Structure 1
């Protein structure tokens, strides 16, 4: 059975920027866990960022924290490590956290730290898609299930 990469925060691991999680409770995820199909991964933690950490948003191809720090290198490193994991396990599908500067599939924040979402992709989601991994957000779980069927 094929493995599926899932954002660690969606599996109940408190790795989000604010030290929390956004656990996605769904019977299919529990089934995948029992089958050993899930690879949990947090690109931001893999890139060396701490938990908690300052919120960051994409602005002009850079990832900038709300304090003005450029954290692009850590986000890029995390994206590359995520791609390596997908390649190592032959992963073709990923379920990632929407609106994250790493994992956002359809939306990200506008880069001005005002809580405004815009259409766009996080660095990890974009890199995975560019390399043949189909990325879905937690809001697209039915579409992922259909793609896997």
Structure 2
């Protein structure tokens, strides 16, 4: 039986991003060989629509480009994601870099200028604080060690 790996649904091509698009990362087939991939979009789990206004973290709050505070949605979705991981024995995740939910190490600065700052997205931070190993699509090589 393969180890389960939580993966941001947008990285598996699901059209759940804020702009209604998805990605497909090159290493998907390789990941599927080693892991059972579990797609999840914390933002959609938190009740946000597709498409939706882009959001960034500013002063500890998640705000849309139009100034709407969606922090509660992001926090609830992070807890739902963590609970799912705990109930299903998931100890590793590949999340979307720079996202206000899934970003690891570097996220957008809240000014919608494309500038990055040090920090984690809401779900990423909660998962890491609870022992889940988090990688971005740019760090998948760490899963082969």
Question: TM-score when scaled to structure 2?
Answer: 0.95
Cα distance in 1, alignment partners of residues 12 and 31 from structure 2: 9
- 1:113, distance to aligned residue in structure 2 (A): 1.2
Question: What is the distance in 1 between the residues matched to 2:41 and 2:144?
Answer: 22
Q: Where does residue 20 of structure 2 map in the other structure?
A: 19
* C-alpha RMSD of matched pairs (Å): 1.1
* Distance in 1 between residues matched to 2:32 and 2:13, nearest whole Å: 12
Partners of 2:26 and 2:76 in 1: CA distance: 29
Query: C-alpha separation between the residues in 2 aligned to 1:29 and 1:106?
Result: 22
- For residues 1-149 of structure 1, the aligned pairs below 5 Å read 1-26=2-27, 27-32=29-34, 37-146=36-145
TM-aligned CA deviation for residue 127 of structure 1: 0.1
Structure 2 gap segments, 5+ residues each:
none
Higher helix share: 1
Deviation at 1:30, TM superposition (A): 3.4
CA–CA distance in 1 between the matches of 2:18 and 2:110? 16
Per the normalisation by structure 1, the TM-score is 0.92
Query: Which ranges in structure 1 are unaligned for 5 or more consecutive residues?
Result: none
User: How far is 1:133 from its partner?
Assistant: 0.3
**1:23 Cα deviation after fit:** 1.3
1:84-130 deviation line (CA, Å, top 9, x unaligned): 11001111100000000000012110011111111210000000000
Deviation per CA, 1:11-38: give whole Å up to 9, x if none. Answer: 0101000000121122312324xx6x11
2:72 is paired with a residue whose SS is helix
SS in structure 2 at match of 1:30: helix
